[in-house]
């Protein structure tokens, strides 16, 4: 208790300096936490992917289509429970800045394959019955103020024209990490139109989404599907949903690396600031440490006092930074929900914040401790007065 009292009193002896250092640590931990959360948000799709879902796409590139006729062949592969399909629609609502992901999809199987999208039964039925019906995520519906029954027009960028949809369902995510920004509608609606306007693009899909019995059979199923379409006009690549999501992220990997790097640089900078604070503190108290040594306090005692003080300052800054990370992440996530549909501060981020605080406290205390314990008492006493 006595020692704890000394630590706190010492830490706040120079109130302005300590407050500024605490503020610096708070901002650094906040920045570190937010940047880590951005990286986490980047990988949210990967994290949310299911081990029992496979994706089959054109082996050349995702921009090339696959014939719808592949569906039944894939359905016959042992281990496959369900086959759905989708197209990236790329529609724009009023203005390009109003981005949200939208897909033309095989409605029935899409609903079955994505149990994490929770749609009330009556809305599900209404959606399946209405050819122009669409289901939208809660966040996107709230963002544009859409309600059930609203008619929404999207301007096609890949499929030209104005496309009219009726909101028949609004889904909620089963977990916090579920993307609630998607918009999907009947592929048949798109296909019928294409048959009239661009027949060469009709009866083709962007990718097949395949449900398998268990994660164990997924590798065999993938190999069998790809073998089945080898040497065909549209060869396939079948991979897990996770690998499929990762292939998107690999395109922007450099950005993720930079964000990660910046997050660590922030910690290194605050480490230098904190080390400077501790160095000044110990230099000012050289005489006191000499007195304590004179009274019989050894190197371990002095080290404990300096490290404890460093830890107190870092812990206060770190705790404040962590506490602020949650509201900051909420505000950040809300304002950028179109880019980061899932923006959640992960538990691992908090652990990393704490570890960063501990490392900052330790590194900042090393040099001052070394100076204090190697100080000759007679030299220290000479500095008093």
Partner 1 sequence: MKTRTGPIVEVRNIYKSYRRGTQTVPVLEDITFDIQEGEFLALMGPSGSGKSTLLNLIAGIDKADSGTITVGGIEITSLSETELAGWRATNVGFIFQFYNLIPVLTAFENVELPLLLTGLSRSGRREHVDLALKAVSLSDRADHYPSQLSGGQQQRVAIARAIITDPTILVADEPTGDLDRHSAEEILDLMERLVHELGKTVIMVTHDPRAAGKAHIIKHLEKGVLNSDVHSEDTL
Q: Give the footprint of partner 1 on this chain (CB under 8 A).
A: 2-3, 5-6, 9-10, 13, 287-288, 291-299, 376-378, 381, 384-385
Whole-angstrom distance, CA of residue 95 vs CA of residue 199: 28
What's the CA gap between 186 and 204, in Å, rounded?
14
Closest among 302, 297, 304 to 371, alpha carbons compared: 302
Closest to partner 1 by CB, 47 or 288: 288
Cα separation, 133 vs 141, in Å, equals 14
Q: Residue 236 or 310: which CB sits closer to partner 1?
A: 310
Residues 127/144, Cβ–Cβ less than 8 Å:
no
> Looking at the DSSP assignment, which residues form a beta bridge with residue 172?
118
Cβ(363)–Cβ(271) below 8 Å: yes
Residue closer to partner 1 (CB basis): 321 or 380: 380
Q: Which is nearer to partner 1, 6 or 269 (CB)?
A: 6
Smallest separation, CB 364 to partner 1 (Å): 20
Q: Is 5 or 347 the residue whose CB approaches partner 1 more closely?
A: 5
Residues ≥6 apart with Cβ < 8 Å to 234:
58, 59, 64, 65, 66, 67, 70
- Residue 288 Cβ, how far from partner 1 at the closest point, in Å? 6
Residue 11 beta carbon to partner 1: minimum distance, rounded to whole angstroms = 10
Closer residue to partner 1 (CB): 121 or 295: 295
For the beta carbon of residue 44, count every other beta carbon within 10 angstroms.
19
* C-beta neighbour count of 83 within 10 angstroms: 23
User: Least separation, in Å, of the C-beta of 296 and partner 1?
Assistant: 3
What is the rounded CA–CA span in Å between residue 197 and residue 227? 34
Query: Rounded to the nearest whole angstrom, what is the least distance from the CB of residue 289 to partner 1 in the complex?
Result: 10
Give the three-class secondary structure for 173. strand
What's the DSSP call for residue 233? S
- Give me the residue label for tokens 């300590």: 18
- Which residue number, 336 or 377, has a Cβ lying nearer to partner 1? 377
In whole angstroms, the minimum distance from the beta carbon of 18 to partner 1 comes to 13
Number of H helices, E strands in the chain: 15, 12
CB of 276 to partner 1, least distance (A): 22
């Amino acid at each position: 208790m006595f020692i704890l009292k000394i630590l706190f009193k010492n830490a706040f002896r120079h109130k302005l300096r300590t407050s500024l250092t605490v503020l610096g640590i708070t901002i650094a931990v906040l920045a570190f936490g937010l940047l880590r959360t951005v990286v986490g948000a980047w990988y949210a799709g990967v994290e949310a992917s299911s081990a029992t879902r496979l994706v089959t796409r054109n082996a050349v590139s995702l921009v090339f289509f696959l014939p719808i006729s592949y569906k039944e062949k894939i359905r016959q592969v042992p281990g496959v429970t369900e086959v759905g399909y989708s197209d990236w629609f790329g529609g724009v609502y009023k203005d390009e800045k109003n981005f949200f992901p939208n897909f033309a999809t095989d409605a029935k199987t899409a609903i079955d394959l994505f149990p994490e999208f929770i749609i009330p039964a009556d809305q599900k039925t209404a959606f399946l019955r209405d050819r122009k019906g669409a289901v939208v995520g809660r966040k996107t519906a709230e963002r544009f103020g859409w309600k059930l029954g609203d008619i929404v027009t999207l301007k096609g960028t890949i499929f030209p024209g104005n496309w009219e949809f009726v909101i028949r369902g609004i889904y909620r995510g089963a977990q916090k990490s579920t993307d609630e920004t998607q918009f999907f509608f009947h592929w048949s609606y798109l296909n019928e139109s294409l048959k009239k306007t661009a027949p060469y693009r009709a009866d083709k899909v962007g990718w097949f989404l395949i449900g398998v019995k268990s994660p164990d059979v997924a590798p065999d199923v993938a190999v069998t599907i790809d073998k089945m379409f080898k040497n065909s006009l549209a060869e396939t690549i079948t991979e897990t949903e996770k690998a499929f999501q990762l292939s998107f992220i690999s395109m922007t990997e450099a950005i993720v690396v930079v964000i990660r790097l910046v997050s660590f640089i922030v910690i290194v900078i605050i480490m230098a600031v904190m080390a400077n604070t501790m160095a000044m503190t110990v230099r000012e108290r050289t005489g006191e440490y000499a007195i304590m040594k004179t009274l019989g306090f050894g190197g371990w005692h002095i080290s404990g006092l300096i490290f404890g003080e460093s830890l107190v300052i870092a812990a206060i800054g770190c705790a404040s930074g962590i506490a602020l990370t949650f509201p900051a992440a909420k505000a950040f996530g809300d304002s950028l929900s179109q880019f980061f549909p899932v923006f959640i501060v992960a538990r691992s981020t908090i652990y990393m914040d704490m570890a960063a605080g501990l490392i900052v406290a330790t590194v900042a205390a090393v040099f001052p401790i070394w100076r204090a314990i190697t100080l000759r008492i007679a030299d220290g006493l000479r500095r008093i007065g």
